[in-house]
Each structure stands twice: as C-alpha cells, then as structure tokens.
C-alpha cells in the first residue's frame, strides 16, 4: 500500500516552482491555483500551459473572479480527471484510501492548523483553504501537503486539528468539500500540451468579458474603499485579496503563460506579455496606495491609479485578437486525446 502519491518528494528538501518565486509581484495567487502550480511540475507537466483561462476573469461587482483552472482544461491538457470525493467516513480514511490507489486528494481545511501560514494566520485565525495531500500517517499524526508556496509537513496537534480529532473533535461531523485526481496511464506529449493550450486560448478569448473589467472596477473603487475604511483594518486585507490581488495575480500568471508560449517557439507575444504584466504591477502599486488611503481616510485619485491597467487590458485583448482570432461565438469543448 502506497503511503505517498509522489514517493520521491520530501517536504524538507522540496524546491518550489519558479512561479512562486519571492521576486514576483504576487508570489502566492489563491489557494486552489497555488496547489496546481506545485502539483503539475511534480508530474513532469508545465503549469503555465493551463493559464489560458485567465482572459475570462471579470469584475463581479464586489470582487474579481476567483480564478481557478477549469476542470475540463486540466483533462484536455494533461489527461487529469478531477472528481468530487464523497465524504461518508472520516476524511483521513478517504484520503489514505486514495493515496493507496496513487491518487491525489484536494481537501478544504482550516488554515489555522497549517504551519506554512506562520506569521499570517497559523494558530491565530481560522480560514478555509485548499490543500493537496501527498503523504499521510494517521497513526503517527503526520501529513505532507501542497499548499501556498510549496510542499509542507504538519504533525501532532495540527494533524488532529485539521481532521477534527481528539481534543479538536466537534459535535458535527467534519464534511469538507474534497476532490480526487486520477492520473493518465501515460503523460501527454509536449506537442499535445502546446497544441491544446493554444486551442483553449482561442476558446477562452471568445468567452472574455464584453466590457473591460478593470474599467468597471475603477468606476466603483473609490466608493468601495470609503466603505472599507469604516471597518477594522483586517477587513482591508480581505477586500484587497479579493480585488487587487486576484486581478494582479491572474494577469501576472497570464504574462508567464505568454512567456512560456514564446519559449515554445511562438514568437510575437512579447508585447502582449508586457501588457499583462503591466496589469499586475499596477495592481501591486495601487494596493500600497490603498493601504495609505484607508489609514488617512483620503480616497481621491484612487481610480486614476488604475488607468494604466485599464489601458493595458484593452491593449492586451487587441493584441491577442490579432494573433488568435476575434469575436464571440459558441466554441465546441476541447477534447483530450490522452487516455486515462
């Protein structure tokens, strides 16, 4: 019986993906995508190839779309089948069973018990987040898990806390949302991944927002910030995460995607990559200004700070349309040719 999905990985010696490098604008993106950024290289697959969906991000009125790789994209690109994991027994029993079958489980847990959140919430704040479990030993209360910037280990009381055991047992059963991943018998070829990725980009371009989402955000941004300033400062972090960080991180990853396409022999995307990166850097700059505005209660000019990102979004879409086609239309789903 396997005790790890990736038996060669050790949390103590694990090297994170360059997409999580500290010199990026947004080293962390969101909990779900961060997991895939680390898991895909562990399978020998390029995570950049799955970022085509970034162009579909919209402003939802109070937040930007929490960007997640569509499950159908993961299957089309890599042959990975992601399915909901029904929880009817103890959660750790289900995870251990899937590990034994060589399958990875993604589970929503309380970040309060995750040691990698040291300094930003560990044993301080409760919050929902997604981890992917690589290795587990319930008897010795240890678990290696993908989360945030890499692969980590928790043990002892934190193990009990994550799975609501022992002193952390609750009167209501722990029934989180969980998924498991079935790997293909053979990993897809480089040519397959590249071809499908570009097909997905064409498809997602036709599904992008009809209106510039950054412009829509800029119009309501100052008013939203005024209301944020009336709350405790902790609320500022929640607001910034779901607006500026989601927008900025989304397009920094899309810039990396375009750089990856260039490295695969697809020239002429350098200008588009620069426009995507401009959205990211603008959001990072405005987030610093936002913190000062909330502290000083001065909100004038915040919308003007977003103008470079507004222009960059328009330029980016124009460049992509010129390269990968324009116009909105129904597009048949991309079907994977990889056997599972």
Domain segments of the chain as ranges: 11-42+81-182, 210-324
Q: What is the per-residue pLDDT across 136-190, written as a single tens digit (0 to 9) for each?
A: 999 999 999 999 999 999 999 999 999 999 999 988 888 899 999 999 999 999 9
Q: What is the per-residue pLDDT across 29-78, written as a single tens digit (0 to 9) for each?
A: 999 999 999 999 999 999 999 999 999 999 999 999 999 999 999 999 99
> Residue 337: its pLDDT value, please?
40
> Residue 59: its pLDDT value, please?
98
Tell me the pLDDT band of 289, cut-offs 50, 70 and 90.
confident
Tell me the pLDDT of the chain averaged across its residues.
92
CA distance 67 to 58: 9
- The answer on pLDDT for 229 being more than 90 is no
CA distance 159 to 54: 34
Percent of the chain predicted with pLDDT > 90: 81
> Residue 236: its pLDDT value, please?
86
Give how far Cα 269 sits from Cα of 106, 212, 220, Å.
Answer: 34, 21, 32
Percent of the chain predicted with pLDDT > 70: 95
Quick one: DSSP state of residue 103? -
Tell me the pLDDT band of 1, cut-offs 50, 70 and 90.
low
Sign of CA dihedral 311, 316, 321, 322: positive
- The answer on pLDDT for 328 being more than 50 is no
Tell me the pLDDT band of 325, cut-offs 50, 70 and 90.
confident
Q: What is the per-residue pLDDT across 188-199, written as a single tens digit (0 to 9) for each?
A: 999 999 999 999
Query: What does the pLDDT average to over 69-88?
Result: 97
DSSP string, 255-266: HHHHHHHHHTT-
Backbone phi, psi, residue 61, to 5°: 100, -45
- Lowest mean pLDDT segment, chosen from 9-23, 199-213, 233-247: 233-247
CA distance 321 to 315: 10
Contact 178, 94 (CB under 8 A): yes
> Residue 119: its pLDDT value, please?
82
- Lowest mean pLDDT segment, chosen from 66-70, 94-98, 202-206, 292-296: 292-296
CA distance 275 to 309: 8
> Residue 226: its pLDDT value, please?
85
- The answer on pLDDT for 283 being more than 70 is yes
């Amino acid at each position: 019986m396997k005790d790890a999905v990736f038996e060669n990985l050790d949390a103590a010696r694990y090297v994170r993906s360059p997409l999580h490098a500290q010199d990026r604008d947004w080293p962390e993106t969101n909990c779900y995508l961060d997991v895939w950024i680390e898991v895909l290289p562990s399978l020998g697959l390029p995570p950049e190839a799955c970022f085509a969906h970034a162009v579909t991000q919209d402003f939802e009125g109070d937040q930007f779309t929490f960007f997640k790789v569509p499950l159908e994209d993961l299957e089309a690109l890599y042959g990975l089948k992601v399915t909901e994991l029904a929880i009817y027994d103890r959660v750790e029993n289900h995870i251990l069973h899937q590990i034994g079958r060589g399958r990875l489980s993604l589970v929503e847990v309380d970040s309060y018990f995750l040691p990698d959140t040291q300094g930003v919430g560990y044993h301080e704040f409760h919050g929902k987040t997604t981890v992917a479990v690589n290795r587990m030993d319930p008897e010795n209360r240890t678990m290696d898990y993908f989360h945030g910037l890499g692969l980590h280990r928790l043990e002892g009381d934190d193990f009990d806390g994550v799975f609501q055991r022992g002193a952390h047992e609750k009167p209501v059963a722990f029934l989180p949302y969980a998924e498991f991943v079935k790997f293909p018998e053979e990993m897809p070829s480089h040519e397959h991944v590249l071809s499908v990725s570009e097909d997905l980009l064409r498809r997602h371009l036709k599904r992008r927002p009809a209106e510039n989402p950054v412009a829509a955000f800029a119009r309501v941004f100052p008013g939203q910030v005024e209301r944020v300033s009336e709350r405790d400062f902790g609320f500022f972090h929640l607001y910034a995460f779901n607006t500026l960080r989601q927008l900025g991180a989304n397009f920094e990853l899309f810039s990396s995607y375009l750089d990856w396409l260039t490295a695969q022999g697809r020239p002429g995307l350098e200008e588009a990559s620069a426009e995507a990166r401009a959205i990211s850097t603008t959001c990072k700059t405005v987030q610093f200004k936002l913190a000062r505005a909330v502290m000083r209660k001065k909100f004038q000019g915040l919308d003007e700070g977003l103008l470079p990102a507004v222009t960059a979004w328009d330029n980016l879409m124009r460049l992509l349309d010129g390269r990968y086609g324009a116009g909105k239309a129904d597009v048949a789903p991309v079907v994977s040719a990889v056997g599972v």
